[in-house]
């Protein structure tokens, strides 16, 4: 793997793609800086070599032009504090200001460019735009795993301008190492735990996992489509009716491949989508009309926990219920505890997919007690589906 360890950055300007797409509150305070902290080792390596760093990132989903609320200026103060130096800022990621500020950088300095997605050319993967970004640096480094599944100008196309001077940053290398370990070298028994809202988002992943795992646990909102497909009553729970035949097909395929599927035995139901709703526990497939399933029940927790605790490799993507509401977070919390127990007591390797699973692990302060929490949601899913990520291919080719 071509990592920055193979480069001495002395007197070089590194054009570094990071994923600083961090959540901000209404006053633009960062509510979770994990992604920024994760990029610090790469930045520091370049600076310690005697190089300078030009940081590029996106933030939020601007509609193709500048929008103050999505300015990366909001994170400048925190970034400067984290690096213990004054990070410079260019209010445009290309053009005269960016060119001048990049030109004037001296070793040891860091320049942050304004949000790349203020140009629609970024997401279009426009080559001319990528060329303008490329002109700012001597070496290209990609440390943005969270956007590695996108063929955008800054994540993929820009690498074409650095045929011999392109590298993975430490975060990318670590993410790929851990994903690879689970995808291709999993110690058995290998259990995947799938949850979250929609079956449709995870079908490809489930299909590809059937060739690798011994056990597949399915919980969260997506389990109700399975329950309905099997003839159960699910009240007003989440349902993707058009996916019901596919659910049955997946169950059939699992049987043929010898994969054990574990679906919830019981479910915690609510009379409305509210933390303070009336709630009770019923068997799967016996949800009364006008009630909705928002969490897995105690019998499911016991069953799932047992399977997890006996596993040697664990991949978890998606919560077991609406964990954002404390009264419906018990199932997700119990799964976190089981994954932690397997990791600590059974020496299992546990990889937690980004997105909501990472948020759940963080909510329960268990990030340090599992093997690895990925910073990539979609990127990790696509990697696990067996797709070649454009951001990875661009460095490897
Ligand atoms: P995903 O992004 O697909 O992993 O979905 C995560 C979201 O699914 C979280 O915001 C959860 O609140 C939500 N979720 C999980 N279980 C349920 C459920 N039973 N009903 C509604 N939403 C759910």
378 is catalytic: yes
Q: Give the C-alpha separation, 364 to 359, whole Å.
A: 9
- Mean pLDDT along residues 152-162: 98
Indicate the top mutation candidate among 196, 355, 384 to test ligand 1's pocket, ranked by most ligand atoms within 8 A of CB.
196
Residues 280 and 365 in one domain: yes
pLDDT digits (tens, 9 = 90+) for 300-354: 999 999 999 999 999 999 999 999 999 999 999 999 999 999 999 999 999 999 7
pLDDT for residue 260 is more than 80: yes
Considering the domain architecture, whether residues 212 and 299 belong to the same structural domain is answered as yes
Q: Which two tokens stand for residue 376?
A: 């990539």
Instruction: Examine the domain organization and report whether 126 and 243 are in the same domain.
Output: no
Confidence of residue 204 (pLDDT cuts 50, 70, 90): confident
In three-state secondary structure terms, 55 is: strand
Boundary-marking domain end, from 148, 171, 194: 171
Q: Identify the weakest region by mean pLDDT among 43-47, 144-148, 195-199.
A: 195-199
Percentage of the chain beyond pLDDT 70 is: 100
Catalytic residue among 355, 376, 377, 391: 355
Is 164 a member of any domain? yes
Q: What CATH number is associated with residue 158? A: 3.40.50.1260
Residue 221 Cα to ligand 1 midpoint, Å, equals 6
Q: Which residues pair with 261 in a beta bridge?
A: 216
Residues 29 and 130 in one domain: yes
Q: Does 392 map to a domain?
A: no
Task: Bin 157: left if φ > 0, else alpha if -120 < ψ < 50, else beta.
Answer: alpha
* 357 alpha carbon – ligand 1 mean position (Å): 10
Instruction: Say whether both 146 and 48 belong to one domain.
Output: yes
123 and 195 both lie in a single domain: no
Closest CA to 363 of 395, 396, 319: 319
pLDDT confidence of residue 47:
98
Does the annotation mark 37 as catalytic? no
Does any domain span residue 395?
no
Ligand 1 centroid–CA 82 distance in Å is: 33
Q: How confident is the model at residue 202 (pLDDT cuts 50, 70, 90)?
A: confident
DSSP labels, 246-273: HHHHHHHHHHHHT-EEE--SEEEEESSS
The single residue listed with the structure tokens 């997700």 is 332
Q: How confident is the model at residue 198 (pLDDT cuts 50, 70, 90)?
A: confident
**pTM tops 0.85, yes or no:** yes
Residue with tokens 């389990």: 223
Range with lowest mean pLDDT among 251-255, 256-260, 346-350, 360-364:
360-364
Q: How many domains does the chain have?
A: 2
pLDDT at residue 377 in the model: 86
User: pLDDT-based confidence at 32, cuts 50/70/90?
Assistant: confident
Output the pLDDT for position 149.
Answer: 95
Instruction: Indicate which residue of 13, 17, 35, 166 is catalytic.
Output: 35
In a domain, 312, yes or no: yes
Residue of the CA atom closest to atom 5 of ligand 1: 196
Catalytic residue among 127, 181, 198, 387: 198
189's CB contacts (< 8 A; 6+ apart) are 214, 215, 310, 311, 312, 313
- How do residues 212-239 score in pLDDT, each as one tens digit? 999 999 999 999 999 999 999 999 999 9
321 pocket-lining for ligand 1 (C-beta < 6 Å):
yes
Give, for 233, the enclosing helix (H) or strand (E).
strand 233-234
Domain end (from 171, 187, 219):
171
Average pLDDT over residues 153-171: 98
In a domain, 396, yes or no: no
Pair 126, 215 in one domain: no
Element (H, E) at 48: helix 34-49
C-beta of 240 in contact with ligand 1 (< 6 A): no
Is 355 one of the catalytic residues? yes
State the average pLDDT for the chain. 96
Residues 151 and 192 both lie in one domain: no
Question: Which one, of 396, 386, 339, 388, lies nearest residue 183 by Cα?
Answer: 386
Among 192, 203, 220, the mutation site with the greatest number of ligand 1 atoms within 8 A of its Cβ is 220
Report if residue 132 sits inside a domain: yes
Tell me the pLDDT tens digit for each residue of 16-30: 999 999 999 999 999
Atom 11 of ligand 1, residue of closest alpha carbon: 322
Nearest CA to ligand 1 atom 10: 322
Whether 120 and 183 map to the same domain: the answer is no
Query: Do the bridges between strand 13-17 and strand 139-142 make them parallel or antiparallel, or are there none, so unpaired?
Result: parallel
Instruction: Verify that 165 and 184 share a domain, yes or no.
Output: no
DSSP string, 292-331: EEEEE-HHHHHHHHHHHHT-SEEEEES-SS-TTSGGG-HH
Same domain? For 96 and 189 the reply is no
Range of the domain at 361: 178-384
Shared domain check, 220 and 148: no
């Amino acid at each position: 793997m071509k990592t920055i360890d193979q480069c001495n950055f002395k007197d070089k300007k590194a054009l570094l793609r990071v994923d600083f797409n961090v959540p901000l509150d209404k006053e633009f305070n960062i509510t979770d800086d994990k992604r920024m902290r994760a990029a610090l080792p790469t930045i520091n390596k370049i600076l310690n070599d005697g190089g300078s760093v030009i940081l590029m990132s996106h933030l939020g989903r601007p509609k193709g032009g500048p929008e103050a609320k999505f300015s990366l200026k909001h994170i400048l103060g925190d970034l400067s504090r984290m690096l213990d130096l004054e990070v410079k800022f260019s209010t445009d990621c290309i053009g005269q200001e960016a060119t001048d500020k990049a030109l004037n950088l001296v070793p040891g300095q860091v320049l942050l460019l304004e949000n790349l997605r203020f140009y629609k050319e970024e997401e279009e993967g426009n080559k001319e735009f990528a060329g303008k970004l490329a002109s700012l640096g001597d070496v290209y480094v990609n440390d943005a795993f969270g956007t590695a599944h996108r063929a955008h100008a800054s994540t993929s196309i820009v690498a074409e301008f650095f045929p011999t001077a392109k590298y993975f940053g430490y975060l990318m290398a670590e993410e790929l190492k851990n994903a690879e370990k689970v995808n291709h070298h999993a110690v058995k028994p290998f259990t995947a735990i799938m949850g979250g809202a929609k079956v449709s988002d995870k079908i490809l992943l489930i299909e590809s996992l059937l060739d690798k795992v011994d056990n597949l646990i399915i919980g969260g909102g997506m389990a109700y489509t399975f329950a309905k497909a099997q003839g159960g009553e699910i009240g007003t729970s989440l349902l993707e009716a058009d996916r019901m035949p596919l659910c049955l097909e997946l169950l059939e395929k699992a049987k043929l491949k010898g994969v054990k599927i574990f679906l919830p035995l019981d479910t915690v139901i609510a009379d409305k989508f509210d933390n303070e709703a009336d709630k009770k526990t019923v068997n799967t497939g016996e949800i009364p009309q006008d009630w909705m399933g928002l969490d897995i029940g105690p019998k499911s927790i016991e069953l799932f926990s047992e399977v997890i605790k006996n596993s040697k490799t664990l991949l978890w993507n998606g919560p077991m219920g609406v964990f954002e509401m404390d009264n419906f977070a018990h199932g997700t919390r119990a799964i976190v505890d089981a994954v932690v127990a397997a990791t600590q007591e059974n020496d299992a390797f546990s990889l937690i997919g980004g997105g909501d699973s990472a948020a759940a692990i963080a909510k329960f302060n268990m990030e340090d007690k599992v093997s690895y929490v990925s910073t990539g949601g979609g990127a990790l899913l696509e990697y696990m589906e067996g797709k070649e990520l454009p951001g990875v291919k661009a460095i490897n080719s």
